[in-house]
């Protein structure tokens, strides 16, 4: 991932220094287990921990010759450890190291993303509570439907990202697995106890059947969840972008002092942050299909997945980390315009109350078909000519047979739409927030 969309903590996970450190820990813990089993001398295992080092540039230099990254690492490690290095990697394969390392890295990445989600959830909750009863129009097909509150909108996103947090926890559990099983996963050259020991030391569980590699359905699950989280981010980003449109202008991204919106038009205040998140969501989702295609490897192993994961693992996690942090900043600083929301509510002359009229007419004895026709007949002049819906209803003789002026007036009371806001908030946030 390019530096523009990278944050240091997540980026460090995918740097060679962290990768080789994990490789070393896998090999060193495996040596400890081998020593406990009597396969190698205890002194050799101790020597690995005491003298074990690596040099990234030297590893690259060796790999340029041997064309094998794990061998290059082991060769460099031996330069520091000395003769006892011959006991390192006993009975192991490259996949034992590479796959277990990737599990650790993905767990590290998942922990950062989980923290990112917590921060976004906190920002959404704060804004939802602030605007619990801020009236705004709800839209279906992007067309005015019925009143809702801006707080309810945000509560819906909170609930969605809460689900995403639960999904991420499951994805982390799915990927937190260790494979130290030797060639084709039979443990012929290495005892299962070594795998158990390494897994315990790294905070992983053992892979029941590794076939030399960790099955890629686990990775497909992980990247799929990242794609779902990205899609949720895009949904929220698109909502903010729509609300910031000139014709709507109910909410917008914070525009800082000195910020410029356009190189040519000085008046512009563009939703660039949420547009950016929308684009990155497309990128993150693009990694889901390759991760699924990685599942179908040849027999016990091949490495067609390797090049894919070397790209998508850093890029997907780095991009999602960046996007979540960016969205948190957007929500924390979101500029909301309640007066404009009310203006938009009033824009269609009361048409947002059409269902109330329909239902009340049926309650009073008019058939649903006749009720629908009567309400629609009065709604169309409001759409086409800008007339007042309430006035038209009051002057409709057929409707007046069922509803008097006061009853029609009461049907336009906006409080009707907000009577269960508290109930929904209690469901979402798990407590009575009245």
Helices (H) and strands (E) in the chain, counts: 19, 6
d(CA 288, CA 300): 23
Task: Report, in angstroms and rounded to the nearest whole number, the Rg of the chain calculated over CA atoms.
Answer: 30
What are the beta bridge partners of residue 178? Answer: 206
d(CA 404, CA 431): 41
141 labelled catalytic: yes
262 labelled catalytic: yes
Which of the residues 141, 256, 264, 267 is marked catalytic? 141
Nearest to 149 by CA among 434, 420, 384: 420
d(CA 221, CA 206): 18
d(CA 277, CA 120): 14
- DSSP for 154-194 reads HHHHHHHHHHHHHHHHHHHHHH-EE----GGG--SSS-HHH
Angle between helices 94-130 and 192-202 (to 10 degrees): 30
Which of the residues 68, 189, 262, 367 is marked catalytic? 262
Backbone angles phi and psi of 50, in degrees to 5: -75, -40
d(CA 150, CA 138): 9
Q: Are 403 and 356 in contact (CB under 8 A)?
A: no
d(CA 320, CA 164): 13
Q: Are 178 and 199 in contact (CB under 8 A)?
A: yes
Q: Measured over all CA atoms, what is the biggest interatomic distance in the chain, rounded to whole angstroms?
A: 103
Q: What angle do CA 219, 221, 227 make, to 5 degrees?
A: 105
Nearest to 277 by CA among 311, 313, 325: 325
Which positions are annotated as active-site residues? Answer: 141, 262
């Amino acid at each position: 991932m390019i530096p523009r969309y990278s944050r240091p903590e997540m980026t460090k996970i995918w740097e060679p220094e962290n990768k080789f450190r994990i490789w070393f820990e896998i090999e060193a813990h495996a040596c400890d287990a081998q020593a406990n089993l009597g396969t190698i001398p205890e002194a050799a295992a101790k020597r690995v921990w005491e003298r074990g080092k690596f040099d990234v540039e030297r590893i690259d230099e060796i790999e340029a010759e041997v064309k094998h990254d794990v061998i290059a690492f082991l060769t460099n490690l031996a330069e520091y450890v000395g003769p006892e290095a011959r006991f390192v990697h006993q009975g192991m394969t490259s996949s034992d190291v590479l796959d277990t390392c990737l599990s650790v890295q993905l767990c590290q990445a998942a922990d950062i993303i989980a923290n990112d989600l917590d921060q976004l959830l906190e920002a959404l909750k704060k804004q939802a509570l602030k605007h619990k009863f801020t009236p705004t129009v709800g839209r279906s097909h992007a067309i005015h439907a019925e009143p809702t509150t801006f707080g309810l909108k945000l509560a819906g996103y909170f609930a969605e990202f809460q689900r995403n947090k639960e999904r991420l926890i499951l994805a982390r559990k799915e990927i937190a697995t260790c494979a130290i099983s030797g060639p084709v996963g039979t443990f012929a050259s290495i005892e299962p106890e070594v795998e158990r020991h390494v897994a315990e030391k790294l905070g992983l569980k053992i892979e029941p059947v590794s076939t030399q590699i960790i099955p890629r359905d686990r990775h497909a699950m992980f990247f799929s969840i990242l794609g779902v989280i990205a899609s949720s981010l895009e949904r929220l980003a698109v909502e903010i972008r729509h609300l910031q449109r000139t014709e709507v202008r109910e909410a917008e991204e914070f525009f800082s002092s000195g910020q410029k919106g356009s190189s040519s038009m000085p008046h512009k205040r563009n939703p660039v942050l949420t547009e950016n998140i929308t684009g990155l969501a497309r990128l993150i989702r693009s990694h889901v299909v390759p991760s699924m295609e990685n599942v179908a490897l040849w027999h016990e192993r091949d490495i067609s997945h390797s090049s894919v994961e070397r790209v998508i693992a850093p890029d997907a996690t780095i991009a999602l980390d960046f996007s979540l942090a960016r969205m948190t900043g957007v929500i924390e600083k979101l500029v909301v315009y309640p007066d404009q929301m009310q203006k938009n509510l009033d824009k269609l002359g009361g048409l947002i109350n059409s269902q109330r009229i329909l239902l009340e007419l049926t309650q009073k004895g008019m058939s649903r078909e006749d009720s629908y026709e009567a309400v629609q007949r009065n709604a169309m002049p409001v759409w086409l000519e800008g007339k007042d819906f309430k006035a038209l209803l009051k002057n409709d003789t057929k409707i007046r047979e069922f509803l008097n002026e006061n009853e029609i007036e009461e049907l336009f009371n906006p409080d009707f739409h907000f009577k269960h806001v508290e109930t929904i908030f209690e469901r979402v946030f798990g407590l009575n927030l009245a």
